[in-house]
Amino acid sequence: MSSHFKGLAYGLGASALWGTIYVVARYLIEVRGLDPYYTAAVRFCFGGIFALGYVLATAGPKKVLAAGEFTWQILALSAAGTFGLGALVFVSVQYTTSINSSLIVNSNAIFIAVLAVMIGERVPWLRFGGLLVGLAGCSIVMLGSAPAQPLPPSNNALGGLAALGAALCWAAYTVFGKAVVRKLGGLVTSAWTIACGGVMLAVLAVARGAVRPLTGLELLAITYMAIAPTAIAMCLWYKALEYVESSVLGPSQYIAPLVSVVLGWVLLQEPMGPTFVIGGLLVLLGVYLATKPLSEDAAAA
């Protein structure tokens, strides 16, 4: 398998795991009544412990401690990709509809491509076209499966700005993280950013007075979120950056809404109509166009 397809496989694997968050998060926040910031804090703190433990066991303490040379870069990436994204998404859904928030946050693949150009990556127009096609597909999928909104949005402008901030945070985490990943390795970099971001979210949760003991089922659900769509997925995401450029990696996350809708249909009996097929085909076409190997990749290799 070539480096290009290996990196893309890692990215698609991470995105598929992120697609499972929707069902588990809805259970914890809507059914069990956990504060969303507390949920995010426990998720990332547990995930950071798991990821650091894995790196320690497989690579040894020297590899883990090597991150000390990149302390400020890791803290900045943690503030953007873990704390910034996690906090701003929840701010967004407090003021606008969940579908508005999701559509804006999912546009971050386009911001990744723009930032990638700004740091010197070559992004052909075909890839920008694929990004737009994929985003259109995501929009159709999410609009076709959106639940009824119980209350009207209180401030669409503020909610939209928060979602836009979340999208920019993830774009920055992906693009600017590449330099650290290429020197330190994807596993070590992601493990530290998960852990440090989790501590930042924990401070916020404590300040809100949202901390409470977890029941057995809640702990089981959060443990899954901490391991699969957090520690494993985020490590896969940064591992992918060892093989492909950030502009190639970004579009792979369009797969996540497809996984979310399918799981909602299977586990929550949520509707999945013909719009899913149309949107899903557009997503697949967009991901193909935005990630397929081009002559520019061969020249840069």
Q: Summarize pLDDT for 197-219 with one digit per residue, the tens.
A: 999 999 999 999 989 999 999 99
DSSP class of 215: P
* Residue from 194, 213, 197 nearest 47 by CA: 194
To 10 degrees, the CA torsion angle through 65, 71, 74, 79? 130
Confidence (pLDDT) at 268:
66
Q: Which residues contact 39 (CB under 8 A, 6 or more apart)?
A: 25, 28, 29, 222, 225
- For Cα atoms 112, 115, 119, give the angle at the middle one, nearest 5 degrees: 130
Confidence (pLDDT) at 195:
96
Mean of the pLDDT values across residues 184-195? 96
Question: Is the pLDDT reported for residue 298 higher than 50?
Answer: no
Q: What radius of gyration do the chain's Cα atoms show?
A: 18
- Helix/strand/coil for 159: helix
Could you read off the pLDDT of 254-284 as tens digits, one per residue?
888 888 778 777 776 766 778 888 988 999 9
Mean pLDDT of the chain: 87
* Residue from 164, 151, 162, 237 nearest 194 by CA: 237
- For Cα atoms 145, 85, 107, give the angle at the middle one, nearest 5 degrees: 50
> What is the residue range of 280's domain?
3-300
Question: Is the pLDDT reported for residue 18 higher than 50?
Answer: yes
CA distance 277 to 288: 16
- 192-to-32, 56, 82, 179, 184 alpha-carbon distances in Å: 29, 12, 11, 15, 11
Question: Is the pLDDT reported for residue 31 higher than 70?
Answer: yes
Report yes or no: 255 and 16 within 8 Å, Cβ to Cβ: yes
Could you read off the pLDDT of 36-85 as tens digits, one per residue?
899 999 999 999 999 999 999 998 999 999 999 999 999 999 999 999 99
Confidence (pLDDT) at 237:
95
More confident residue, 104 or 252: 252
Confidence (pLDDT) at 89:
85
Q: Where are the alpha helices (DSSP H) in the chain?
A: 3-18, 21-26, 36-59, 61-65, 71-77, 85-95, 98-105, 108-118, 125-145, 156-184, 186-207, 216-226, 233-240, 246-249, 255-268, 274-291, 295-300
Confidence (pLDDT) at 299:
42
Q: What phi, psi does 186 have (nearest 5°)?
A: -65, -40
CA distance 144 to 138: 10
Inter-axis angle of helices 98-105 and 156-184, to 10 degrees?
A: 40
- Identity (one letter) of the amino acid at 114? V
Could you read off the pLDDT of 150-187 as tens digits, one per residue?
555 566 778 888 889 989 999 999 999 999 999 999 99
Question: Is the pLDDT reported for residue 300 higher than 60?
Answer: no
More confident residue, 21 or 12: 12
Confidence (pLDDT) at 224:
94
More confident residue, 12 or 270: 12
How many folded domains does the chain comprise? Answer: 1
